[in-house]
């Protein structure tokens, strides 16, 4: 069942088109990774879904409710985590959470129980009496997530939650998000740390210049990006001659001579439908007198898929 839908969602700032007819479907329980260069429209989309911005035209729905017309019904079922949390001076962590729990209508023993539960879930119990404005960036992000869990929302909207975190804090946030997904939350997360999205998300969307380039499963994006099998070859000598030989082989669509760490290499692209096997390439070179120092097939991951499917454009 679709939990989030956008239909021709468009947002303009004067003449600037931040979003251009965005059509997305995110199902209940999905963890959706939103990918795109800075200025592509990710934050604008998330703010519209969080009911903080009105679209210029088009429609967005959460759990069947229309943003802009049914916001009072939408806000209780969503939790929005911006990229930076505003600190509250002179508040400690437990007071901060109790304040927001009261805003959500939780009182008495129920409020104390919920605050204790989210502190345990986000591994912040040991920071309950620490001042909010003295927390590290990683702890602040965990507190921001704890805050939006107080009312047990169905949907979490996270804008760059791992931005600026050290490696340990990123791992801790990732494990927390995995646990929230296991709890059945629908999660939308924008990030530039693509290998972590591949590990966390089951669906992804790539946005560029306000337009959706791709939306689907991680496996589908890998398949679409695999326009050819890329093989890196290093020979001991006669590099240009080896490249010319490889270019004559049926099934090879592209040959580039590049350098990695100062060492020249040949990058070969093989047509996936040609039937040419990677294992044939060393034999072709060796029979012509070339000495092959190394041969490695490039693995397509979310980062290489992103680079192949985008041009780095912004709105």
| CA–CA dist 46, 42 (Å, integer) | 6
Domains of the chain: which residue ranges?
A: 2-224, 227-299
Burial class of residue 192 (count of CB atoms within 10 Å of its CB; 0-12, 13-18, 19+): middle
Instruction: Provide the 3-class DSSP secondary structure of residue 171.
Output: helix
C-alpha closest to that of 33 among 161, 163, 197: 197
Cα→Cα distances 292→256, 266, 277, Å: 16, 11, 16
d(CA 268, CA 195): 24
CA–CA separation, 310 and 214 (whole Å): 10
How does pLDDT run across 242-294, given as a tens digit for each residue? 999 999 999 998 899 988 777 899 999 888 778 888 899 999 999 999 999 99
Residue 310's pLDDT band, with cuts at 50, 70 and 90, is low
* Prediction pTM value: 0.75
Residue 140 Cα to chain centre, angstroms: 20
Q: How far is CA 119 from CA 12, 135, 180, 253, in A?
A: 40, 14, 14, 56
Give residue-wise pLDDT tens across range 28-83: 999 999 988 888 899 999 999 999 999 999 999 999 999 999 999 999 999 999 98
Which CATH fold topology does 2-224 show? Rossmann fold (3.40.50)
> What are the distances in angstroms from CA 157 to CA 62, 87, 149, 182, 228?
11, 19, 11, 16, 35
The CATH code of domain 227-299 reads 3.30.70.100
Would you place residue 315 in the very low, low, confident or very high pLDDT band (cuts 50, 70, 90)?
very low
Least confident of 102-106, 213-217, 244-248, 259-263: 259-263
Please give the sequence-ordered ranges of beta strands (E in DSSP) within the chain, or none if there are none: 2-13, 16-27, 31-35, 57-62, 65-66, 78-81, 155-159, 186-190, 203-208, 211-217, 229-235, 252-260, 263-270, 292-297
The answer to whether 241 touches 284, Cβ cutoff 8 Å, is: no
Asked if 2-224 and 227-299 have one fold, the answer is no
Q: What is the pLDDT of residues 131-142, one digit of tens each?
A: 998 888 889 989
Residue 232 three-state SS: strand
């Amino acid at each position: 069942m679709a939990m989030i839908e956008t239909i021709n969602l468009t947002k303009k700032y004067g003449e600037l088109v931040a979003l251009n007819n965005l059509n997305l479907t995110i199902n209940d329980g999905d963890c959706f990774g939103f990918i795109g260069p800075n200025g592509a429209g990710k934050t604008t989309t998330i703010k519209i879904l969080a009911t903080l911005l009105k679209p210029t035209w088009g429609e967005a729905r959460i759990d069947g409710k229309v943003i802009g017309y049914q916001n009072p019904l939408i806000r209780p079922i969503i939790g929005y985590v911006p990229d930076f949390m505003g600190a509250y001076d002179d508040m400690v962590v437990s007071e901060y959470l109790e304040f927001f729990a009261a805003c959500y209508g939780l009182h008495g023993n129920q409020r104390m129980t919920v605050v204790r539960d989210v502190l345990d879930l986000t591994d912040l119990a040991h920071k309950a009496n620490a001042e909010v404005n003295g927390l590290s960036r990683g702890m602040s992000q965990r507190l921001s997530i704890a805050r939006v869990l107080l009312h047990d929302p169905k949907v979490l909207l996270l804008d760059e939650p791992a931005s600026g975190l050290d490696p340990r804090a990123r791992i801790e946030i990732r494990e927390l998000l995995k646990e929230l997904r296991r709890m059945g939350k629908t999660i939308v997360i924008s990030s530039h740390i693509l290998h972590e999205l591949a590990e966390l998300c089951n669906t992804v969307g790539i946005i560029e210049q306000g337009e959706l380039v791709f939306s689907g499963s991680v496996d589908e994006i890998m398949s679409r990006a695999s326009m050819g099998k890329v093989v890196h070859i290093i020979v001991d000598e006669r590099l240009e001659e080896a490249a010319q030989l490889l270019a004559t082989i049926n099934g090879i669509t592209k040959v580039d001579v590049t350098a990695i760490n100062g060492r020249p290499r040949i990058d070969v692209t093989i047509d996936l439908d040609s039937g040419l096997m990677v294992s044939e390439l060393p034999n072709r070179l060796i029979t012509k007198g070339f000495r092959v120092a190394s041969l490695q097939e490039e693995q397509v991951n979310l980062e290489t898929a992103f680079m192949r499917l985008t041009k780095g454009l912004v709105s």
